[in-house]
Amino acid sequence: MSQPEVGPKRLDSRDPGFAAAFRALLEGLREEGTQVGAAVSSIISDVRTRGDDAVIDYTARFDRQTLTAETLRIPDAEIKAARKLATPETVAALELAAARIRAFHERQMPEDFSYTDAAGVGLGARWTSLGAAGLYVPGGKANYPSSVLMNAIPAKVAGVPRLVMVVPTPDGIVNPLVLVAAEISGVDEVYRIGGAQAVAALAYGTATITPVDKITGPGNAYVAEAKRQVFGVVGIDMIAGPSEILVVSDRDSDPSWIAADLLSQAEHDEAAQSILITDDADFATAVIAAVERHLSVLPREAIARASWTTHGAVILVPDLMDAVPLIDAIAPEHLELAVADPDALAARVRNAGAIFMGRHTPEAIGDYVAGPNHVLPTSRSARFSSGLSVYDFLKRTTMVRCDAQSIREIGPAAVTLAEAEGLGAHALSVALRLQQ
């Protein structure tokens, strides 16, 4: 295919230069390193030393908001009052989304197990929730109430007793829908702070904010770097990169639908990536033309256009099954299969954060109301990780129970292994119990 001067990259898997062009495309999916490490580490150490005072100073500097220790937290009355600032349809839509997300995540709850083996040893594993989870909600360019539901509901379903949300409110402006979503999903405390200082406060605590056990949620480069730096003190979910969508479509899809699907992720971020794989060159051309038509009516046209023209790609393959190795290499955050038999393709795909099956399942339905989580692995990390779930808010503890008889059955082998490792106290602690 010929390359247009501006627009998505066009690749054909039959071209001799395809392998190199595809490698370059994958390179573009790699998370870019950030240059904010030193600034973030100084903010974190300041919050550890000066607590609330440091958080208040950074909030004044970056969010142009004057707070005191007493006003860091958004009062429950203000959160309840937010409902009156939202339209009834929006609240109803959030409630429908919450119910569907809750129902899906309830199905993920794993079961404890226990049994007694042939040697008479009692064995098992039980799940317990984290004690406290911190949810970061971005407050600058993107401020999504749907992401509040997606982070908070799995934690609630897992049984986390304390859920703490932080959201920067630049110039004091709060998005009421974010507060409504927090209330619907059962968030216990909300603080009007953001950036690395909020992450540090959640991880280390201040006089006002009791520390949490794990921090989840997306954010800008400062937030992502802060999460990296506090990992180990607390758990984190993932470092989320820009959104991605990969659509595989045959010629029978409506080009206008597919164009809108590609733009649905392009409009998130200039760095988002939207890729179409198809087996029909005319269809590819029709989708590119439809993208142009849609772009001009989008409220976030500039962002979507920048993303599509710099990171968009259309790949032509001779047969749709030839898409499978490309999908696995891209390991997309979202994979849409707009083909006649999505099951046949899906069965062969190993790497994808979430799969949307068939022409009537746009990715955007999953962003809001389908039920599965929309916090998904990006930057090819679907090769080794999964989307946010109740498992992120649970941990497993194993249990062992020997009695005088069963320890005599398995203990001698433990003594042998301890001696082989030169660990005398290990050997002794078992051997003493064999002499009863």
Ligand X SMILES: NC(=O)c1ccc[n+]([C@@H]2O[C@H](COP(=O)([O-])OP(=O)(O)OC[C@H]3O[C@@H](n4cnc5c(N)ncnc54)[C@H](O)[C@@H]3O)[C@@H](O)[C@H]2O)c1
* Nearer residue to Zn ion within complex by CB, 105 or 334: 334
Q: What count of other Cβ atoms lies within 10 Å of the Cβ of residue 402?
A: 18
Residues, the chain: 436
**Residues in 75-94 that interact with Zn ion by CB under 5 A:** none
Q: Shortest gap between Cβ of 161 and ligand X (angstroms)? A: 26
Q: How far apart are CA 259 and CA 275, in angstroms?
A: 10
Residue 367 contacts Zn ion per CB under 5 A: yes
Q: How far apart are CA 85 and CA 179, in angstroms?
A: 10
Q: Active site includes 333?
A: yes
Q: Shortest gap between Cβ of 139 and ligand X (angstroms)? A: 4
Phi-psi region of 186 (alpha: psi -120 to 50; beta: other; left: phi over 0): left
Q: Active site includes 334?
A: yes
State yes or no: 220 annotated in a binding site.
Answer: yes
Catalytic residue among 294, 311, 334, 374: 334
* Residues contributing to the site for ligand X (CB under 6 A): 39, 62-63, 138-142, 144, 147, 168, 194-196, 218-220, 222-223, 240, 243, 268-269, 375
For tokens 């083909």, name the residue. Answer: 339
Residue 367 contacts ligand HSO per CB under 6 A: yes
Q: What count of other Cβ atoms lies within 10 Å of the Cβ of residue 299?
A: 8
Residue 97 DSSP label: H
Q: How far apart are CA 45 and CA 203, in angstroms?
A: 12
- As given in the structure block, the two tokens for residue 407 are 């320890």
One character per residue 261-300, x = contact with ligand HSO (rule: CB under 6 A)? -------x--------------------------------
State yes or no: 334 annotated in a binding site.
Answer: yes
- Whether the Cβ atoms of residue 260 and residue 247 lie closer than 8 Å to each other: no
- Whether the Cβ atoms of residue 349 and residue 335 lie closer than 8 Å to each other: yes
Query: Of 235, 333, 339, 198, nearest to 277 (Cα)?
Result: 339
* Nearer residue to ligand X within complex by CB, 194 or 411: 194
Query: Of 33, 15, 31, 13, nearest to 327 (Cα)?
Result: 13
State yes or no: 268 annotated in a binding site.
Answer: yes
State yes or no: 3 annotated in a binding site.
Answer: no
Residue 237 contacts ligand HSO per CB under 6 A: no
- Interaction partner, residue 194 (ligand HSO, Zn ion, ligand X, none; CB < 5-8 Å by kind): ligand X
Identify any residues that bridge with 338 across adjacent strands, giving them in sequence order.
249
Residue 191 contacts ligand HSO per CB under 6 A: no
Edge-first strand order for the sheet with 132-136 is: 189-191, 162-166, 132-136, 214-216, 235-236
- As given in the structure block, the two tokens for residue 221 are 């480069």
For tokens 């046949």, name the residue. Answer: 344
- Interaction partner, residue 237 (ligand HSO, ligand X, Zn ion, none; CB < 5-8 Å by kind): none
- Interaction partner, residue 146 (ligand X, Zn ion, ligand HSO, none; CB < 5-8 Å by kind): ligand HSO
* Nearer residue to ligand HSO within complex by CB, 146 or 278: 146
State yes or no: 426 annotated in a binding site.
Answer: yes
Identify any residues that bridge with 231 across adjacent strands, giving them in sequence order.
234
Q: Using CB under 6 A, which of 192, 294, 374, 380 touches ligand HSO? A: 374
- Interaction partner, residue 140 (ligand X, Zn ion, ligand HSO, none; CB < 5-8 Å by kind): ligand X
In this chain, which stretch among 121-129, 144-152, 199-207, 289-297 interacts with ligand HSO, using CB under 6 A?
144-152
Helix (H, G, I), strand (E, B) or coil at 182: helix
Q: Shortest gap between Cβ of 414 and ligand HSO (angstroms)? A: 48
* Nearer residue to ligand X within complex by CB, 44 or 345: 44
State yes or no: 243 annotated in a binding site.
Answer: yes
Residue 147 contacts ligand HSO per CB under 6 A: yes
Q: What is the pairing mode between strands 122-129 and 394-401?
A: antiparallel
Catalytic residue among 333, 336, 363, 374: 333
One character per residue 331-360, x = contact with ligand HSO (rule: CB under 6 A)? --x---------------------------
Residues in Cβ contact with 58 at an 8 Å cutoff, skipping those fewer than 6 apart: 43, 46, 47, 195, 196, 197
Sign of CA dihedral 313, 314, 319, 320: positive
Residue 253 contacts ligand HSO per CB under 6 A: no
- Enzyme catalytic residues: 333-334
Enumerate the known binding-site residues for Zn(2+).
Answer: 265, 268, 367, 426
Q: Which residues bind to Zn ion, rule: CB under 5 A?
A: 367
